[in-house]
Chains A and B, each alone.
Chain A
């Protein structure tokens, strides 16, 4: 079956603009995760969803970042008033569940965000 897909694959934006990043998880996966990867910080957890709820938003770096998930499927990560330090690869992953071996996470190809 299809893997996790993300769009766009690349996004270049000007400082101060808003951006939306989209993630399509593997069908049937109830858990969805957002991470970002940057040179200085490595791979960082941002937020996860179980169904449409986000029990853990602890990794969101500021209130400019938000995410939602609808229908237990597609998720969008929105960054408002982008800053240059937001430049990174944003990775989405999904898993069948949360516990034990069910949380093997399958990653999408990522969205490379560049803020000029």
Chain B
């Protein structure tokens, strides 16, 4: 079963706009990671935020984590057509041994030039 749920399932924006994707999860976590996937193949790691962190930045990406609400958001600023992809959140649940990730269903982002 999936740990996370992502919202929205699909998002279409114009180049230059900001894109916000949300992820909710069910159990306590060690960390939460965001990945991007192009064309249904390999996933590219974007950012990892630990359970004791609240916000993290990487280039045009900003991730927030609210453990009290069991939710995270990924903000992509000044989007580009090349950002078009599916974005997944993945949690490393606290009860897990071994760091296996449980993925959300993903948000399909389309950035129109």
Contacts and interface: CB of A to CB of B under 8 A. Distances in A.
Contacts of A110: 41-42
A59 B35 CA distance: 21
A91 B100 contact: no
B48 A104 contact: yes
Interface residues of A, number: 32
A103 B31 contact: yes
B43 A56 contact: no
A43 B103 contact: yes
Contacts of A101: 31, 48, 50
Interface residues of B, number: 27
Given A55-B98, A95-B99, A89 B41 contact: yes
A2 to B, nearest CB: 13
Nearest to A99: B99
A35 B30 CA distance: 20
B103 A42 contact: yes
Contact of B98 (A56, A89, A100): A56
8 contacts: A42-B106, A45-B100, A48-B100, A55-B97, A101-B31, A101-B48, A101-B50, A105-B33
Interface of A: 4, 31, 33, 35, 37, 42-45, 48, 50, 55-56, 59, 89, 91, 93, 95, 97-110
Closest 7 CB pairs of A and B: A103-B99, A43-B103, A109-B42, A98-B99, A107-B43, A45-B100, A107-B42
